[in-house]
């Protein structure tokens, strides 16, 4: 269900754009959907993820500029700004020795307590650099697609293309990490209680 809400604003943005061919209207829909997304997460979890909050701030700023200046270029830059901000956060975390990629991976694995990750310490920094480069590349791809193929193609690519690129990247990351993931054997030596 969480994955649905992660893509909820972008999905509505795409639907609004292709039903109206109006980027300003689609931006208003994106902003409203982002407010709903934040509200639902707050009601559901009593917290808002930092990534959602950061994305929301960029959506509000770039969306407001798009609407008030009647120029879609600001909302088109939004994915690049978000991806480059994520890349910057990962790079800074590496420089201050608080590797956010490691925290993200270990946090994800906490949802599967039967799995254990034992990756050599020297592998974490290069992995973080890969994530930094990936998010920088995503930001560049966003602008390349818009300026090369135009607005209609860009809107479709924003939903479909970026989803596929992200899936391929994260499946690749899982395959890479899987060599360091082992299953924890349940402790069968415990005395039965009774």
* Claim to verify: residue 50 and residue 99 sit in the same structural domain: no
Give residue 173's Cα distance to chain centre.
14
Q: Where are the beta strands (DSSP E) in 13-94?
A: none
Q: What is the spatial distance between Cα 173 and Cα 187, in angstroms, rounded to a whole number?
A: 30
Q: Shortest CA distance to 77 belongs to which of 158, 21, 160?
A: 158
**Would you state the pLDDT for residue 9?**
87
> Residue 40 sits in which domain range?
1-70
* Claim to verify: residue 83 and residue 59 sit in the same structural domain: no
Gyration radius (Cα) of the chain, Å:
20
CB 85 within 8 A of CB 54: yes
φ and ψ of 149, to 5 deg: -115, -10
Low-confidence winner among 4-8, 63-67, 86-90, 152-156 (lowest mean pLDDT): 4-8
Q: What is the spatial distance between Cα 3 and Cα 5, in angstroms, rounded to a whole number?
A: 5
Kindly tell me if the per-residue pLDDT of 193 is higher than 60: no
* Claim to verify: residue 36 and residue 75 sit in the same structural domain: no
Residue 162 resides in a domain: yes
**Would you state the pLDDT for residue 76?**
94
Residue 192 resides in a domain: no
* Claim to verify: residue 64 and residue 80 sit in the same structural domain: no
Mean pLDDT of 92-118: 86
* Claim to verify: residue 43 and residue 92 sit in the same structural domain: no
**Would you state the pLDDT for residue 32?**
94
Residue 190 resides in a domain: no
**How many domains is the chain partitioned into structurally?**
2
């Amino acid at each position: 269900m969480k994955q649905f809400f992660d893509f909820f604003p972008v999905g509505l943005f795409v639907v609004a754009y292709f039903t109206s061919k109006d980027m300003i209207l689609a931006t208003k829909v994106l902003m409203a959907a982002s407010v709903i997304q934040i509200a639902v997460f707050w009601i559901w979890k009593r917290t808002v993820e930092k990534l959602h909050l950061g994305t929301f701030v960029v959506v509000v700023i770039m969306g407001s500029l798009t609407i008030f200046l009647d120029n879609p270029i600001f909302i088109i830059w939004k994915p690049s700004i978000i991806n480059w901000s994520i890349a910057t956060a990962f790079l800074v975390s590496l420089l201050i020795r608080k590797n956010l990629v490691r925290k993200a991976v270990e946090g994800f694995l906490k949802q599967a307590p039967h799995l254990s990750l034992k990756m050599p310490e020297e592998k974490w920094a290069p992995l973080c650099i890969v994530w930094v480069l990936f998010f920088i590349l995503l930001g560049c791809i966003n602008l390349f697609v818009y300026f090369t193929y135009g607005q209609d193609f860009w809107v479709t690519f924003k939903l479909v293309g970026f989803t596929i690129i992200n899936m391929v990247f994260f499946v690749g990351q899982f395959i890479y990490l899987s060599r360091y993931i082992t299953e924890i054997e349940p402790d069968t030596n415990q005395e039965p209680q009774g």
